[in-house]
């Protein structure tokens, strides 16, 4: 019978056994999975662990601060932040194809991670304690959907922050590999992580990059970030966080429609709300949100976010739709 305390004890023992006195690197993404896997490893081996946070500029509002301030305060994890925003934007410029975007984001992530990693590795080697391990927040559904273990077809190339190039010399530490999301959250709470991180919706490794249908630009990211912050704020205010699994907010950057706002005609972009209910993200249904909440979100987004003159609701289950649009 499942109990988060038992799982923690078991994983801590297992991590200690795997890692011994070796040094460990971890990539924090701001999401629940990497936060909890990193905290578990920290619980097991303390300062043998160094966490790296790559700010790829595809994060939601406030996420960098939550990692750098709240997470560090609650765990005591040693953290290094890399500002790679320009690097990612440059690499993504002119690219609209979803799989291509995913590949670029994965590749750039590995590049920026490898850069810090080689600095850290050199430093550790000079101290006579090489870094040999890397933490990954892989969950059971990731294993299944990426075709690992069951032979299912690969639907999307999943990019998990911390994803490894094949020639890397690290051994993986994956303490969440047999767990589902709700179990991961229970473990995070038990470890004392901030509720803002533990209760956070699942957020894909490629971030807002796959929630802009079309090319990713700094301007479009800013628009999407503002719309997303409004949707999240209103859903929380309405007490609906427990009811929805996640609510991707998507910018249809290549679509325009005519509207009338303020002094006259506008020709702006639609924002899609994609609230879903799910147990494990492998299947999902669209969440029947109260009309007054949808109305509030729609009014605020069209009034407060520039270039947006329409808000639409995605009423597709998974299958046939996936949760994310790309």
Minimum distance, C-beta of residue 131 to ligand XMP, in the bound complex (Å): 23
**Closer residue to ligand XMP in complex, CB, 228/324:** 324
**Closer residue to ligand XMP in complex, CB, 128/320:** 320
| Residue 29 annotated as binding site | yes
**Closer residue to ligand XMP in complex, CB, 30/206:** 206
Minimum distance, C-beta of residue 33 to ligand XMP, in the bound complex (Å): 7
Minimum distance, C-beta of residue 247 to ligand XMP, in the bound complex (Å): 10
Minimum distance, C-beta of residue 181 to ligand XMP, in the bound complex (Å): 8
**What tokens does 169 get?**
């010399």
The DSSP string of 253-317 is TT--EEEEETTEEEEEEEEEE--EE-SSSSSBEE----HHHHHHHHHHHHHHSTTEEEEEE----
**What tokens does 318 get?**
């998974």
| Residues forming the site for ligand XMP (CB under 6 A) | 155-156, 158-160, 202, 204-206, 246, 281, 318, 322-324
Minimum distance, C-beta of residue 163 to ligand XMP, in the bound complex (Å): 9
**What tokens does 131 get?**
């870094």
Q: How far apart are CA 47 and CA 23, in angstroms?
A: 8
| Residue 35 annotated as binding site | yes
| Residue 4 annotated as binding site | no
| Residue 74 annotated as binding site | no
Angle at CA of residue 159, ends 283 and 318, nearest 5°: 15
| Residue 295 annotated as binding site | no
| Residue 97 annotated as binding site | no
**Closer residue to ligand XMP in complex, CB, 121/281:** 281
Q: How far apart are CA 243 and CA 202, in angstroms?
A: 14
**Closer residue to ligand XMP in complex, CB, 39/161:** 161
Minimum distance, C-beta of residue 246 to ligand XMP, in the bound complex (Å): 6
| Alpha helices, DSSP H, located in the chain | 4-19, 32-45, 63-65, 72-75, 85-92, 98-126, 140-145, 181-190, 195-198, 218-237, 291-304
Beta bridge partners of 260: 265
**Closer residue to ligand XMP in complex, CB, 19/32:** 32
Q: How far apart are CA 217 and CA 208, in angstroms?
A: 11
**What tokens does 216 get?**
């990713």
| Residue 32 annotated as binding site | yes
Q: How far apart are CA 275 and CA 318, in angstroms?
A: 12
**Greatest C-alpha distance within the chain:** 68
Helix H or strand E segment including 160? none
Minimum distance, C-beta of residue 162 to ligand XMP, in the bound complex (Å): 10
Which of 164, 137, 131, 130 minimizes the C-alpha distance to 11? 137
**Closer residue to ligand XMP in complex, CB, 133/203:** 203
The binding site for ATP comprises 29-35
The binding site comprises 29-35
């Amino acid at each position: 019978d499942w109990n988060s305390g038992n799982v923690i004890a078991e994983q801590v023992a297992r991590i200690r056994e795997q890692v011994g006195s070796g040094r460990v690197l971890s990539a924090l993404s701001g999401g629940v999975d990497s936060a909890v896997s990193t905290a578990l490893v920290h619980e097991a081996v303390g300062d043998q662990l160094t966490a790296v946070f790559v700010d790829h500029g595809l994060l939601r509002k406030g996420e960098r601060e939550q990692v750098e301030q709240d997470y560090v305060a609650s765990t005591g994890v040693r953290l290094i932040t890399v500002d790679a925003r320009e690097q990612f934007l440059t690499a993504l410029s002119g690219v609209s194809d979803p799989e291509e975007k995913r590949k670029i984001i994965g590749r750039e992530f590995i590049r920026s991670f490898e850069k810090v990693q080689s600095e850290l590795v050199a430093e550790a080697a000079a101290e006579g304690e090489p870094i040999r391990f890397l933490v990954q927040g892989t969950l059971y559904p990731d294993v299944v959907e990426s075709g690992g273990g069951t032979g299912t077809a690969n639907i999307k190339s999943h990019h998990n922050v911390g994803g490894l190039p094949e020639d890397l010399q690290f051994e993986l530490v994956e303490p969440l590999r047999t767990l589902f999301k709700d179990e991961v959250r229970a473990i995070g709470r038990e470890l004392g992580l901030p509720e803002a991180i533990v209760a956070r919706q699942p957020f894909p490794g490629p971030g807002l990059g796959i929630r802009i249908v079309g090319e990713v630009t700094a301007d479009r990211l800013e628009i999407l970030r503002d719309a997303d912050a409004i949707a999240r704020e209103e859903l929380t205010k309405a007490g609906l966080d427990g009811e929805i699994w996640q609510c991707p907010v998507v910018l249809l950057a290549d679509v325009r429609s005519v509207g009338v706002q303020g002094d006259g005609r506008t020709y702006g972009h639609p924002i899609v709300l994609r609230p879903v209910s799910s147990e494990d993200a492998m299947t999902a249904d669209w969440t029947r949100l109260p009309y007054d909440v949808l109305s509030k979100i729609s009014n605020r987004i069209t009034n407060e976010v520039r270039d947006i003159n329409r808000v639409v609701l995605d009423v597709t289950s998974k299958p046939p739709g996936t949760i994310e649009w790309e």
